[in-house]
Structure 1
Amino acid sequence: MKKRLLPYIMLSPFLALVLLFFVVPVIITTLMAFTDMDYAMEWNFIGFHNFEKMVTDPNFFQLVTNTIFYVGGTLLINVLFALLLALLSSYFIQHEKSGMFFRALWMLPRITPPVVYILLWLWLFDASEYGLLNTLNALLFSKEPMAWLLEHPMTAIIIVNGFVGASFGMVIFSSAIQSIPRELFKAAKVDGASEWSVIKDIILPSIKWPVMFVSVWELLSLLTSYEYILLLTDGGPMFDSEVWALYAFHKAFKNLEFGYGSAFSLILVVVAIIVTGMMLKLLGFNRMIQSSRID
C-alpha cells in the first residue's frame, strides 16, 4: 500500500503548484467570462452576453485574420528554421565544439531579457536614417528611410518571434539528430547517397517525434503569446498587429473589462484544445503510438 502511495506523495508538491497556479486560474477565468466584472470587481453574472458582444466586436474579423497569419507564419519559422539550424550545427558541422558554439550563439535571444531583445529590434527597425535597416538600405540601394513598423508591422513581429522561437526547436532537433547512430550516415555515404537523401530518408524519419512535439508546443505558445508584440508595436498601427491574446490583455488590464477579457481568453483555450487535436491527428500521433507499442 505504501509503495502505491509513494509516487503520489512525491508528486504532491508539484500537483499542488499545478492546481494553484494553473487549474484554479482557469476556473476563475471561466467564471469571470460570464460576468460583466470591471474596475468595481463585482460578480454580476450576465450569461453569454460577453460572447455575443465578441462576435459583434468591430475588430473581431481582423483579430482572427491577424492571429492566423501571426501563428501560421511564426510557426513555420520556428519549426523549419530550427530544423535548418539543427542540421547545420549537428550534421553538417562535424566538429562538436564548433556545433556547440553555433547553438549557444542562437540561444542568446532566448536567454536575453525580452525588453533588451526588443530594444535591439527597435534599433534595427528605427524609422530614422540611423536605424540599422535604413542605414543598410541607403548604402546598398540609396533609398530613403522607411518606417518599417508602420508599413510592415506583422512581418516584423513574425521575424522577431521566429528568431527567438527557433532556438527552442534547434536544441530539441539537435539532440535528436545526435542520437542517430553515426554508422547509418557512414553506410549511406558508402552507398553513394546524396546529402538530401540522408536528410530525407534517415534524419527526418528519425526525428518525427521531436518535430511533432515542437510543432504542437510552439503552436500552443504562439496562440497565447503577446509579450513581444506588446513591446514592439502594442498591436499598432491601429489594429494591424493586434492578435487575439493581446486584445484580451488590452480589454482586461487596459480597459479594465475583466469579464469581457476573460471571455476572449476562454475562447482562446477552447481554440487551442481543438487546434492541438487537429495537429496531432495531422501529424499522425495515433500511428506513432501504435508503432512504438509494436516496436
Structure 2
Amino acid sequence: MPKSLRKLRRSYLYVFILPALILIVLFFLFPVVLTFLISFTNLDYRFKWEWIGLGNYYYMLKDRWAKLIMRNTIFYVIMTLSCFNVGMALVISLLTTHIHDKAGSAFRAIWLLPRITPSTVYIVLWNWALAPYPYGAFNWILAQLGFEPFITKLNTNPVSPYVPIPWIWVWVILVNGFIGASFGMIIFSSAIKAIPLDYINAAKVDGASTLQIIRYVILPMIKWPIMFVTAYQTLSLLTSYEQILLFTDGGPGYTTEVWALYSFHKAFAEYAGAFKFGYGAALSVILVIIGLIASVAYYRVFRFRELMLETKIEV
C-alpha cells in the first residue's frame, strides 16, 4: 500500500473517533478543569466572583464539620467496601461459581436486582420498608411477631433524631452495600470461572482442603480482579452521594454526611451554605485527590505483594 494512501487511511480513522473525543472533552475534561479553576474563587449564586487563591482550602482547614465528615467518609468507605462491595461479593462468587449452573445463575440474577434497579426507586422502597409502625413493612413484621416495633425515621433532621446513631450507619451501609456487592460478584465470578480446573484438581489430589484451595489457588489467581474491584468501588463510594441524600440527607445533623454530599450541600443547598460554588468545588477537588491517592496506593500494595511472592519463588 502506498505511503500516501496509508496516511489518508489513518486520517479517516481519526475522523471516526472525533465525535467521541469531542464528547469526552465537553462532558469530562472541561467540567474537571472548570471545577478546579472555580475552587480558587468565591463564586456564589449571584455569579459574582473574585480570585481568592487558596482561600477555600484554608477555610476548609478551619471548617469545624470537615473533620467529622472526613471520618464519616472513611468509615463509610471501609465498612461498605470490606463487608459488601468486596467481602460479600467474593464470598457469593466462591459459593455460586462451582454449584449447578442454573442454581448459581438464578442466585446471581437475584443479587443483580439492586444494581439494575434505579437508585431512586431502590432507596424510596427501603425508606418505605423502614418507615415507623404501622406504615413500614419491617416494623409491621416485628409487631406481628410480638417484638416491639423499631422506631425509624431515616430522613431525619437535627431537631428530631428518631434513630439511634449507630443504627443509622447500619442501615446506610446495608442498603448501599447490596448495590456494590452485585458489581463485584460479576467480576469475581468471571475471574473464578476463568481459572483452569486442572489447578484445582491438582490441589485436591495433593490433599488440599477447600479453604486451602481458596487461599493458595483461587485468591492468588484473581488478585488483579480484586484490585480492580477494590479501586473502582472505592472511587464509586467516595463520589456517590445520591443514595445517602435520598436515604438520610446526611442527618441527623451531620451524622451520616459524607464528603461528596457535603460538597453538594455547600454548592447547591441554600440552607447549608448559601450556594457557595467555590467552596463546593474545592471540596470536590480534595475528593478527586483522595481518590487518586487511594488508587495509586492499591496498585502499589498489590504490586509489592506480587514482587515479594516472585522473590520467594526465585529463592
What TM-score does the superposition give when structure 1 sets the normalisation length?
A: 0.90
Worse-superposed segment, 136-145 or 12-21: 136-145
- CA distance in 1 between counterparts of 2:113 and 2:59 reads 42
Task: Give 1:66-145 correspondences, 5 Å limit.
Answer: 66-76=72-82, 77-91=84-98, 93=99, 95-139=100-144, 142-145=147-150
Shift of 1:136: 4.2
Shift of 1:96: 1.5
- CA distance in 2 between counterparts of 1:130 and 1:183 reads 55
Query: Is 2:296 the partner of 1:277?
Result: yes
Shift of 1:124: 2.8
**1:264 equivalent in structure 2:** 283
- CA distance in 2 between counterparts of 1:134 and 1:208 reads 42
Query: Is 2:20 the partner of 1:14?
Result: yes
* Deviation readout 1:172-218 (Å, 9 max, x if unpaired): 00000111112322333333321111211211111111000000000
Query: Which residue identity is paired with 2:228?
Result: F
Shift of 1:7: 5.8
- CA distance in 1 between counterparts of 2:125 and 2:250 reads 19
* Equivalent residue in structure 2 for 1:240, among 255, 269, 278: 255
3-state DSSP of counterpart to 1:107? helix
Task: Give 1:1-295 correspondences, 5 Å limit.
Answer: 2=7, 8-76=14-82, 77-91=84-98, 93=99, 95-139=100-144, 142-147=147-152, 149=154, 150-151=163-164, 152-255=167-270, 256-284=275-303, 287=306
Shift of 1:156: 1.4
**Number of residues paired by the alignment?**
288
Instruction: Pick closer, same or farther for the CA change 1:278–1:141 going to 2, 3 Å.
Output: farther
CA contact (8 A) 1:33 1:266 kept: yes
Q: Which has the larger radius of gyration?
A: 2
Question: Percentage identity across aligned positions?
Answer: 48
CA contact (8 A) 1:234 1:242 kept: yes
Instruction: Pick closer, same or farther for the CA change 1:78–1:53 going to 2, 3 Å.
Output: same
CA contact (8 A) 1:129 1:145 kept: no
* Deviation readout 1:26-77 (Å, 9 max, x if unpaired): 1100111111111111232111111122121121111111111111111112
Worse-superposed segment, 128-137 or 100-109: 128-137
CA contact (8 A) 1:32 1:43 kept: no
**2:3 equivalent in structure 1:** none
CA RMSD of aligned residues (A): 2.2
Shift of 1:287: 4.4
- CA distance in 2 between counterparts of 1:236 and 1:216 reads 28
What TM-score does the superposition give when structure 2 sets the normalisation length?
A: 0.84
CA contact (8 A) 1:177 1:203 kept: yes
CA contact (8 A) 2:140 2:149 kept: no
Query: Which residue identity is paired with 1:161?
Result: N
3-state DSSP of counterpart to 1:245? helix
Instruction: Pick closer, same or farther for the CA change 1:285–1:128 going to 2, 3 Å.
Output: farther
Shift of 1:25: 0.4
Q: Structure 1 regions of 5+ residues with no counterpart?
A: none
**2:157 equivalent in structure 1:** none
3-state DSSP of counterpart to 1:85? helix
Instruction: Pick closer, same or farther for the CA change 1:241–1:197 going to 2, 3 Å.
Output: same
- CA distance in 1 between counterparts of 2:12 and 2:87 reads 42
Worse-superposed segment, 222-231 or 12-21: 12-21
